[in-house]
Amino acid sequence: MNTTKSKKSLAAQKADLFIQDNAERKYVLDFAASDSQEGMKEHLERLVNYKTRLQAEEAWLIHIGIARPTEKYQYQFHPDVDSVYIWHDPDFNKATAWIYKNGKLYQGDIDLINKP
């Protein structure tokens, strides 16, 4: 019996974090490291599925990578998923964040303070 496939199928059905606040609002989050375009598409599909199954108000993809994502692939967005993409250089000297919320894309630099 091939257990690898069944474990992967089970993992593919779940997001990384589920939050339910005191007002009973539900949120799902999925975290990703640098991944292929196909891998990011799978993260988005998983979140949409999980958001629907749990009747969550929001779904967020949090993607952190060492390579500037636009150099590797184009960002992928889904209308039902909000996204945060954070790129940092190998030495953690600089970082940039792209936030996709409610169909709008925002970009900003991140100050890396308290660096050892």
Task: Give me the residue spans of the domains in the chain.
Answer: 25-54+62-110
Residue range 15-60, pLDDT digits in tens: 688 888 888 899 999 988 866 778 888 888 888 999 999 899 999 9
In the chain, the largest separation of any two C-alpha atoms, in whole Å, equals 50
Helix (H, G, I), strand (E, B) or coil at 21: coil
pLDDT tens column, 55-110: 999 999 998 887 655 554 455 678 888 988 888 877 777 888 888 888 788 888 87
- Alpha-carbon Rg of the chain, whole angstroms? 16
How many whole angstroms separate alpha carbon 26 and alpha carbon 36? 29
Whole-prediction pTM value?
0.72
